[in-house]
Structure 1
């Protein structure tokens, strides 16, 4: 038992031992419902971007990729240390390098079939706001000034810059229709959502 504990707490396994404790604690909380599976996805999430995406581990939640990396690397260094013992620094470095490479291969192989279960998240685009009704949040809207609040399809709201040609009297609290976007000025063109009825002459 002492030899196994020494292997777990000795170099190079100790690099991954404490990380493995964190991983086990994380998945216990996930199972108990205290955390969501995406709680550790600060590095690009499941969209394949970030450092994990750069090394071929994108497309799945970072929590899954990191868990596999840490678990396999720990197991490799632990078994290697238990079998070979601490026979020298160069052997330990070689063991560490080999374990990391094997862990990366295992995580990449696992990511391939799992990607179909984590489709890329569609990021909101400015074009999504075209045709939407917004609420004016400034005292006026003219050709040079104005802001409005618009609600996206996912329920989130955003405060956007809006402009109008000067034909309409748009004030705070009124609703307006977003009908165009100026990419140079980065603002939307709006008009009243209901045009005034002047009546027939």
Structure 2
């Protein structure tokens, strides 16, 4: 047991151990719903280059149809397993030679990350067609004029989230409201009036003002 603990917290396995623990904590918090926290919201003024690069990687490995949190969890899991095995079989025997030990450690980080992506892609490949059909079942035009329930603590011109019941598992949408006097809060009903294809959010207005 001690050897296992020493390994998972050794360089570079500790990097993927930390990522995997963060993913597990995310799912636990989501499952028990202890905290009423707004989801992380990426501002349209954010680093578009980084987002495009990430999207390109997911597309290349055919993971763009899978929710990002699910992809991140499985990539972290497979990368952690790979890193652990490389450390035990190759890196650990070199611990007395610092240059080789850390050189192999740096290579371990890269190899484990790539293997994590490939393994995740292979794992989800049988589900890609089904997920593609599911995602295309509801288009942006289909839900214009539909009612959504606000799930964030506030909705304004910069941030906001809402849920839309599509008859299945439901959808979580990025929403914005440009009415300065709007009082949309968690649990409020709003109506979708527009989709911004550039910044990927839906413009909404309070339902009570619409009727």
Given that 1:72 and 1:106 are in contact with CA atoms closer than 8 Å, whether structure 2 keeps it comes out as yes
TM-score (norm 1): 0.51
Residues 1-201 of structure 1: matches in 2 within 5 Å? 1-33=1-33, 39=39, 50-55=52-57, 56=59, 57-84=63-90, 85=92, 87=94, 88-112=101-125, 113-114=127-128, 115-116=131-132, 118-120=134-136, 122-123=139-140, 152=193, 156-157=204-205
Separation of aligned partners in 2, 1:28 and 1:117? 29
Higher relative contact order (CA 8 A, sep 6+): 2
Higher alpha-carbon Rg: 1
How many residues matched? 133
Structure 2 residues without counterparts, runs of 5 or longer: 44-50, 95-100, 146-178, 180-190, 195-201
Q: How far does the alpha carbon of each residue in 1:102-154 deviate from its partner, in whole angstroms, 9 at most, with x for none?
A: 101022223431534750563359xx68xxxxxxx9xxxxxxxxxxxx85399
Given that 1:12 and 1:77 are in contact with CA atoms closer than 8 Å, whether structure 2 keeps it comes out as yes
Q: CA deviation at 1:23?
A: 0.8
Q: How far does the alpha carbon of each residue in 1:137-184 deviate from its partner, in whole angstroms, 9 at most, with x for none?
A: 9xxxxxxxxxxxx853999328xxxxxxxxxxxxxx9x9xxxxxxxxx
Given that 1:40 and 1:62 are in contact with CA atoms closer than 8 Å, whether structure 2 keeps it comes out as no
Question: Considering only aligned residues, what root-mean-square deviation do their CA atoms show, in Å?
Answer: 4.0
Residues 118, 108 of structure 1: CA spacing in aligned structure 2 closer, same or farther, 3 A cutoff?
farther
Name the SS for the 2:135 alignment partner: coil
Structure 1 residues without counterparts, runs of 5 or longer: 44-48, 130-136, 138-149, 159-172, 176-201
Q: CA deviation at 1:9?
A: 0.9
Q: How far does the alpha carbon of each residue in 1:73-93 deviate from its partner, in whole angstroms, 9 at most, with x for none?
A: 111112222333162122222
Name the SS for the 1:152 alignment partner: strand
Separation of aligned partners in 2, 1:119 and 1:34? 29
Separation of aligned partners in 2, 1:79 and 1:10? 12
Separation of aligned partners in 2, 1:80 and 1:14? 13
More helix by share: 2
Name the SS for the 1:156 alignment partner: strand
